Amino acid sequence: MNEATIGTRFAPGTVTALTVDAGSHEEQSAFLRQYGMLFWRWRKVVLGALAACVLLGLIVTLLMTPQFTAISTIEISRDSAKIVSMQGVEQDATDADQEFYQTQYGLLRAHSLAERVASELKLVDDPAFFALFNADKNGKLFSTAAGRSVPIASREIRLRAAGSVLLDNLRVSPTRMSRLVDISFTSPDAALSQKVANAWSKGFIQSNLERRFGASSYARDFLESRLQQLRVKLNDSERALMNYARAQRIITLPGAGKDGSEQSTIAFDLVALNGSLASATSDRVAAEARYQAYRKRPGETAEALTNNSLNDMRTKRSELASEYTKLLTQFEPAYPPATALARQIAQVDRSIAGEEARIGGAIRAGYDSALAREQALQAKVSDLESSFLDQRRRSIQYRVLQREVDTNRQLYDGLLQRYKEIGIAGGVGTNNVAIVDLADLPLRPSSPRLLLNLILAIFAGVSIGGLLAFLLDQSDETISDPSEAERLVGLPLLGSIPKLGGGTTPSEALLDRKSALVDAYLAVQTSLQFSTERGMPGSLAVTSTRPGEGKSTTALALATLLARSQRKTVLIDGDMRSPSIHHLIGTNHDRGLSNYLAGDSTAEDLLMPVPEFGFTAITSGPIPPNAAELLTGNRLSALIEELLRTFDHVVIDAPPVMGLADVPLIAGRVEGVIYAVESHGIRASLVRTALARLSSSSSRILGVVVTKFEPKRANKGYGYTYGYDYGQEKKKRSLLGD
């Protein structure tokens, strides 16, 4: 992460440091700049693709048949209203279970439902329906005879085809987080779209009811057959139970048991006698207790204490005894009144004893009666127990038969109840699907939508244009930006030369000291000042990969600028195969370098002053049969040495590198070579190949000059002409009154 610290002064003597995350900003800027440069360079391709796609989208939209979409909305509930209790008939599921709803969506797109709608709307026999969707291209469904469309395929085939057409144009769209489902149908006919959408919703509800009714009918048929089997089995089991009970003389009472089951009469009697025996035993125990109490204390029994007569007699005796005691205090026992009272007391005692004896007899009689009753009941219970045990031994098989009867009855009753519920449910016809909104007649076409299609066309155009720009950029090896020259060819950039426009020739531009061409070559001259230890090389050769890349103009410009800097300069046209310097300076090439190399002339004879440019020139001379042979000798080296004794700089316009042996011969005899590369015109691979060939001559290549550069075609599209056109732009603004 690169960070830059920027000092910002807020007040005198106070400096606050702001830390800026420069790395991410630079990366983002570089990323945006890279793609901006890519778009600018290939803007014509991108804009062309965009225009083509927009035009194509507009044409396709105008040629498309208008389509109308009708939408009906239904609600699918998870469970239908439970009018009857039918647990177990259908598997339960939770609201989170999406399997149910996915099944319903699949049923909405079932081919059977599509065929049902096609039959209801009578689309199967309608040739116009198939023609509307172009579904009978080969005429396999209908044939035209006597001006009428006659069905030739079977109705089943046409029904299948009609269902496929409906499904192809139907869309089922569940509403998110709800139970609502939109059913939309699209066709060129608005009325048909409405009919199909509504018929589809109604048909789905009907098919759902039929499917439920079919399932109920199947269950009802199954239960009927099962009930018949159980009815027969129940009758047989009851008949077997009755026959066995008759044969074994087993008599039962229905519902006599505690649980409501049948009970035998012996068991019933035994239960009743056991109850009576328990009561008799209780009575006997109570009577025996009273009798034992009487025997111990006859006068203190409950019967004696509660007997009124006995209590009266005891009271009377007490009174008599009280009177008798009172008389004895005064008289002797023989005193007649005392004797009479004694006789009365004795009579009362006898009466009391008699009454107590009568009460004791009653208690004994009650005890004897309770004992006898207990013993009689005990004997009867013993007899019934023997009979019950015997019957129980004989009723084991009866119980087996009884359980079978009970089981069959339970199964029969349960199935009968289920059969009744299914019958009620099938008659009610409950449904879990309801229509929320029926489809309205669409008044506007749903497609084509011009705005949407144009947006898609723009998106497609930008995408295709961007892809083409990327592919072209990856496959383009030309030098479109001077900053790429060093990376592509591996040589330092000496400068970039703008392309001349408006019919201006290089000679005219060089004569105008304020032209952009002069400024650009001044920058090249400045770069050459630092190319060697001694500054500007004394001898230079300018070459290029192929003809027409601006090497001659570069040589002419360098000679001109060196001459203007008060340096004696000579310009030699070394391209003896296709000379061009004489055209630039306005002369001929009757005599020149070829004459010197052939030994026909001296250097002084060939020097030609060029006053308008300020340098001296040597033209190429007559075109020799083989220029390479003339360059193989030492005449060129001698010429350069001779000229350097008189001139400060020797500039040679060398021929192109590719396909010729001239340049390596010339480059080996000068101090440095300047390589001219045409911007937007030469592939970098060809330049590298030419440089590799040139490097084999042990020549020193000083750098690259990018010629014919057009800033508008560069990746950046700006920045390279500001310095060159500054004076001219200011002059234009002053003339316009800015």
Lowest pLDDT segment from 210-219, 376-385, 425-434, 478-487: 425-434
* Residue 586: exposure state from Cβ atoms within 10 A (0-12, 13-18, ≥19): exposed
Instruction: Determine the Cα angle at 315 with ends 313 and 320, to 5°.
Output: 90
pLDDT: is 21 or 712 the higher one?
712
Ordered alpha helix ranges (H), 249-301: 265-296
CA–CA gap between residue 161 and residue 164 (Å, rounded) = 5
CA–CA gap between residue 432 and residue 14 (Å, rounded) = 79
pLDDT: is 138 or 453 the higher one?
453
CA distances (Å), 686 to each of 386, 489, 542, 659, 677, in order? Answer: 130, 10, 17, 12, 10
CA–CA gap between residue 656 and residue 544 (Å, rounded) = 5
**Highest mean pLDDT (candidates 46-60, 312-326, 461-475):** 46-60
Contacts of 232 (CB under 8 A, 6+ apart): none
Average pLDDT of the residues in 23-31: 57
pLDDT reported for residue 167: 94
Cα-only R_g, the chain: 66
| Structure confidence by residue, pLDDT tens digits, 101-126 | 888 899 999 999 999 999 999 888 88
pLDDT band (50, 70, 90) for residue 82: very low
Lowest pLDDT segment from 10-14, 17-21, 384-388, 406-410: 10-14
Asked if pLDDT for residue 718 goes beyond 60, the answer is: no
Average pLDDT of the residues in 454-465: 88
pLDDT reported for residue 721: 45
The token pair at 448 is 């084509």
CA–CA gap between residue 518 and residue 506 (Å, rounded) = 10
pLDDT reported for residue 424: 56
Ordered alpha helix ranges (H), 298-440: 302-305, 308-328, 336-394, 396-428
pLDDT band (50, 70, 90) for residue 643: very high
Q: Which of 596, 597, 619, 620 is nearest to 608 (CA)?
A: 619
Whether cis (ω within 30° of 0) applies to the bond prior to 336 is no
Asked if pLDDT for residue 731 goes beyond 50, the answer is: no
Average pLDDT of the residues in 156-175: 92
pLDDT: is 1 or 467 the higher one?
467
How much of the chain exceeds pLDDT 90, in percent? 17
pLDDT reported for residue 368: 83
pLDDT reported for residue 15: 37
pLDDT: is 36 or 235 the higher one?
235
* Residue 661: exposure state from Cβ atoms within 10 A (0-12, 13-18, ≥19): middle
Torsional sign, CA 482, 485, 486, 491: negative
pLDDT reported for residue 200: 94
Asked if pLDDT for residue 198 goes beyond 90, the answer is: yes
pLDDT reported for residue 208: 84
Contacts of 529 (CB under 8 A, 6+ apart): 535, 536
In this structure, are strands 672-678 and 433-437 parallel, antiparallel, or unpaired? unpaired
Q: Which of 67, 66, 208, 185 is nearest to 123 (CA)?
A: 185
The token pair at 547 is 């003809």
| Structure confidence by residue, pLDDT tens digits, 589-610 | 888 988 998 888 888 889 999 9
pLDDT: is 39 or 652 the higher one?
652
118 near 166, Cβ under 8 Å?
A: yes
Average pLDDT of the residues in 475-484: 68
Conformation bin of residue 422: beta by default, left when phi > 0, alpha when psi is -120 to 50: alpha
pLDDT reported for residue 79: 60
Asked if pLDDT for residue 259 goes beyond 60, the answer is: no
pLDDT reported for residue 569: 93
How much of the chain exceeds pLDDT 70, in percent? 78
CA–CA gap between residue 524 and residue 526 (Å, rounded) = 5
Asked if pLDDT for residue 484 goes beyond 80, the answer is: no
pLDDT: is 301 or 564 the higher one?
564
CA–CA gap between residue 670 and residue 639 (Å, rounded) = 11
pLDDT reported for residue 391: 65
Lowest pLDDT segment from 257-261, 373-377, 570-574, 719-723: 719-723
CA distances (Å), 375 to each of 276, 278, 383, in order? Answer: 12, 11, 12
Count of helix runs (H) and strand runs (E) in the chain: 25, 18
**β strands within 225-300, DSSP E:** 252-253, 263-264
Torsion of CA 342, 348, 351, 352, to 10 degrees: -110
pLDDT band (50, 70, 90) for residue 81: very low
Torsional sign, CA 314, 317, 321, 327: positive
DSSP state of 542: E
CA–CA gap between residue 729 and residue 516 (Å, rounded) = 11
430 near 83, Cβ under 8 Å?
A: yes
Measure the N-to-C terminal CA separation of the chain; round to a whole number of Å. 46
Asked if pLDDT for residue 327 goes beyond 60, the answer is: yes
How many CB atoms are located within 10 Å of the residue 680 CB?
17
| Structure confidence by residue, pLDDT tens digits, 236-251 | 888 877 787 777 666 6
Residues in the chain: 738
276 near 283, Cβ under 8 Å?
A: no
Amino acid type, 122: K
Q: Which of 13, 16, 32 is nearest to 24 (CA)?
A: 32
pLDDT band (50, 70, 90) for residue 722: very low
**β strands within 12-160, DSSP E:** 14-21, 68-76, 142-145, 148-151
CA–CA gap between residue 257 and residue 261 (Å, rounded) = 5
CA distances (Å), 626 to each of 598, 630, 660, in order? Answer: 11, 7, 11
CA–CA gap between residue 157 and residue 181 (Å, rounded) = 30
Average pLDDT of the residues in 470-482: 69
User: Quick check: pTM over 0.85?
Assistant: no
Q: Which of 186, 194, 156 is nearest to 170 (CA)?
A: 186
pLDDT reported for residue 475: 65
Asked if pLDDT for residue 682 goes beyond 80, the answer is: no
pLDDT reported for residue 216: 65
Average pLDDT of the residues in 579-587: 89
CA–CA gap between residue 46 and residue 477 (Å, rounded) = 19
List the beta bridge partners of residue 425.
none
List the beta bridge partners of residue 709.
498
pLDDT reported for residue 151: 78
DSSP state of 483: G
Strand, helix or coil at 386? Answer: helix
pLDDT band (50, 70, 90) for residue 730: very low
Lowest pLDDT segment from 45-59, 135-149, 188-202, 534-548: 135-149
Asked if pLDDT for residue 529 goes beyond 90, the answer is: no
CA–CA gap between residue 731 and residue 725 (Å, rounded) = 10
Asked if pLDDT for residue 234 goes beyond 90, the answer is: no
Contacts of 716 (CB under 8 A, 6+ apart): 33, 37, 40, 481
Asked if pLDDT for residue 392 goes beyond 70, the answer is: no
Contacts of 363 (CB under 8 A, 6+ apart): 287, 290, 291, 294, 301, 303
Lowest pLDDT segment from 457-466, 476-485, 561-570: 476-485
Q: How high is the mean pLDDT of the chain?
A: 78
pLDDT band (50, 70, 90) for residue 487: confident
Asked if pLDDT for residue 732 goes beyond 60, the answer is: no
Asked if pLDDT for residue 542 goes beyond 90, the answer is: yes
pLDDT reported for residue 239: 83
pLDDT: is 429 or 508 the higher one?
508
